[in-house]
Structure 1
């Protein structure tokens, strides 16, 4: 992988641009190819104008700051559980409350939600005016991101000769997950034994990550070194998940990444001992729970045999989440791993 700061910028507005006859323009076809090649080469891209109302995104960051500023006992009223069947927990989660070894757990806390009209497994919400407003904005954000993922899947499907709707029914359950993430301010020396998010790949289909001005996201390069992915204005960071990589027989890699301390400044003694808070909002696109995931026939041949065994989407995600958020590190690399780059477990 090249330096992540040089990741291609994909203009989402151009992906489905059509002319007066309803045909995709040359700019649209070029951008769709650009998207596929970026994900093929790195598993990551910047997505400019990412199909989500910026006012809603700004409001969500305001909601997040107010939510995480609440007393711990208030947030613990909606503490998430790891036994709800899908994987990530609904409600408030804090690795200090879940990890086997809190001393090495991630330096973060988050609020998580699934589709909000699921009666069998309802999301958890605090009962106050602010929480009701946060809920309404998150539901709008959820629906917008689902539409973005549909368009991105159409584009990558067509680039390998598949009908654009190939993956649409695979995410019809809208089993996606939103995590409003808070990385609390901490002493810089804390990072000698802990990180804000342990090295991992994402587990499902595709991820859209929206960040505030705080830095710290790093992606593992082909050199074996982690490099920072700086925030770009009006862009989300897009990356491929494990299960989409399986469908593509590894053509689209699921790349290791982590969140650590931001780059040190060079302003004399102001190389702060306290690293400030950082906020992020992640939309994890996921496949239907019972979907059997295996390399697509179109990407398997005698000269390019299947690199992965079949797995059930929901079961695979649960196993990965439990390992990361409870044990505190990703699953050990296995034969046929989705990740193109071998990682060192945390």
Structure 2
């Protein structure tokens, strides 16, 4: 069985789309090199993320929006939990979304961003990173379209002005005898279309294989980990897999220090109807596929399940 693909998307997409697509079919994951997000921008963003999470707890909590479902600003440690999990994840995070003018027809779905005044250059850095994530994500979606036999630009209209969210994520250091091997983020699947993850080089990210075994994901320095979300799984009737994954505290010295990462949850437009692609319906079982649903309604259903709405 081939391993999780590690592919350069600087190569022509028609040369790599099958390798990427097969990895998504088998594992729901692929690792992407040469993704185009500038290394100096990543370094600045990592520095500013660490600076924010180092602020006093009361300063960070001033940016928590009660009743906001975690869509923007700060979400404190011990708030989010995986679907069906009995305990909360051991993390805190900050969300940045799309900025739309008030007159935009989709503005009602996307609250305005807020920005911490304590950290210089925070807004400009993360607006630039958000745009770079979108550009990289668009190229991955082009590869997926080619793999599915669709026109290369098929996904462009489905994600234009989509409700994508960038998360700055901090797993605080753990202490005690049980720190090594502790679960920092419980087993879960992502809600969105695809997720692009920076900062997964440190050991701990694992996916659940079809055989029911946990498989560690090895990531070269600076590469992006891409995984399929539930929305794309639903669109393709499970052909591209939204795979259960988790974050486990590593063993050794790394178990006792903070872990930082930056996932970008790329979403369809809120008004896009997730309706199974005809090519992903089995002619022998034409009714065996999910019912159509708007991406916004699907998002709300899932947010309620993970304690964010």
Query: TM tier, shorter chain?
Result: 0.7 to 0.9
TM-score, normalised to structure 2, is 0.88
The 1:135/1:309 distance shift into structure 2, 3 A limit, reads same
The 1:74/1:239 distance shift into structure 2, 3 A limit, reads same
Which one has the bigger helix percentage?
A: 1
1:292 to 229, 250, 273: 273
1:8 corresponds to:
5
Paired residues of 1:178 and 1:284 also in contact (CA < 8 A): yes
* Alignment partners' CA distance in 2, 1:117 and 1:307: 34
Instruction: Please state how far the C-alpha of 1:93 moved relative to its aligned partner.
Output: 0.5
Paired residues of 1:116 and 1:139 also in contact (CA < 8 A): no
2:290 corresponds to:
308
Instruction: Please state how far the C-alpha of 1:213 moved relative to its aligned partner.
Output: 4.8
Moved >6 Å (runs of 4+): none
Q: Which segment is superposed worse, 249-258 or 314-323?
A: 314-323
* Alignment partners' CA distance in 2, 1:88 and 1:74: 17
Paired residues of 2:201 and 2:221 also in contact (CA < 8 A): no
2:152 corresponds to:
164
TM-score, normalised to structure 1, is 0.79
- Number of aligned pairs? 299
Superposed CA deviations along residues 3-22 of structure 1, whole A, max 9, x for unmatched, are xxx421110111xx3xxxxx
Superposed CA deviations along residues 96-149 of structure 1, whole A, max 9, x for unmatched, are 3567xx993111100111013454521121223x24x12111111111111222
Matched, 1:276 2:257: yes
2:142 to 137, 154, 159: 154
Superposed CA deviations along residues 221-247 of structure 1, whole A, max 9, x for unmatched, are 122121221331131101111111111
Structure 2, gaps ≥5 residues long:
none
2:51 corresponds to:
66
* Alignment partners' CA distance in 2, 1:92 and 1:216: 24
- Which of these two proteins has the greater Rg computed from alpha carbons? 1
The 1:208/1:273 distance shift into structure 2, 3 A limit, reads closer
1:52 corresponds to:
37
Matched, 1:219 2:212: no
Q: Which residues in structure 2 correspond to 1:79-158 (within 5 Å)?
A: 79-81=64-66, 83-84=67-68, 88-97=70-79, 104-117=87-100, 119=102, 121-128=111-118, 130-131=119-120, 133-158=121-146
Give RMSD over aligned pairs.
Answer: 2.6
Instruction: Please state how far the C-alpha of 1:159 moved relative to its aligned partner.
Output: 2.3
Instruction: Please state how far the C-alpha of 1:30 moved relative to its aligned partner.
Output: 2.1
Instruction: Please state how far the C-alpha of 1:192 moved relative to its aligned partner.
Output: 9.0
The 1:151/1:274 distance shift into structure 2, 3 A limit, reads closer
* Alignment partners' CA distance in 2, 1:88 and 1:29: 38
Superposed CA deviations along residues 52-103 of structure 1, whole A, max 9, x for unmatched, are 111111111101110000001101111034x44xx6421010243567xx99
Q: Which segment is superposed worse, 103-112 or 236-245?
A: 103-112
Q: What secondary structure does 2:44 align onto?
A: helix
* Alignment partners' CA distance in 1, 2:79 and 2:229: 26
* Alignment partners' CA distance in 1, 2:136 and 2:225: 13
1:241 corresponds to:
229
Paired residues of 1:188 and 1:261 also in contact (CA < 8 A): no
